[in-house]
Amino acid sequence: MIDVHPQSVISPRVRLGAGVRIGAYAVVGDDVELGDGTVLDHHAVVHGPAKLGRKNRIYPFAVIGGDPQDRAYAGESVAIEVGDENTFREFATVNRGTPKGGGVTRVGNGNLLMSYVHIGHDCQIGNRAEFVNGATLAGHVTVEDHATVGAFCPVHQFCRIGKYAYVAAHTVITQDVPPFSKIVAPRETRCYGLNSVGLERAGFDAARIEALEKAYRLFLRSKLNTTQALAEMRGTLSKSPDVLELIRFIETAERGVTK
């Protein structure tokens, strides 16, 4: 059963799945698809073209699918795609893509966007990531699975944040954040090694964590340069898929890697 409040504003060009609930004063624009069980609270807004999967929850005053904040945008048809079971808290904003960025902003499954989080145009968000209050992504940012972006963190355009990385509150990100790492900025943005507490909570066993700790010691604390450190990882830790993922991420960085 679909429950649409009579004081909401719903375009005739929408597709609503089973069990969708839309509250008072919510706005759903043209070419929006809301999957089964998705809930829009009062005053929530979804602009299209947009496709949202199952059981998403959009809290009051959040805006999903707003126009990209790009001076070059001239009204082209660009979109946003959202997976299943995401939570968008109050005043969170997620912009659609731009033609030069591929035209689509994507948010995967099970992500939590707390209040006042902003996801810019053409961002690509994985699964089970967390964005704490006020975290702000510029355009074209990639955030991989299970990453955490702390409160009031600005992330520069085209940066990547690797899987299981933890970025502490108020940290300014201008280079790629390697996977499994812990990034803190008491004075300057630095990598402080492995996000060991987060990995333990995620179910990583002692052997996986030990291999990553050895890799990060080579990367951060040895006298080897980055190329030499990666070669040493390949020679001594190549049996660890996690270490191979770390190597892949570093080698494909285009903005440099936070060390």
Active site residues: 121-122, 139
Instruction: Estimate the share of the chain in helix, then strand, then coil, as percent rounded to the nearest 5.
Output: 20, 30, 55
- d(C-alpha 185, C-alpha 180), whole Å: 17
38, 17 contact by CB (below 8 A): yes
Rounded Cα–Cα distance for residues 185 and 192 (Å)? 10
Q: Is the dihedral of CA 92, 98, 100, 105 positive or negative?
A: positive
122 CB-near residues (< 8 Å, 6+ apart): 68, 97, 98, 101, 102, 104, 105, 139, 140
Residue with tokens 């959202």: 82
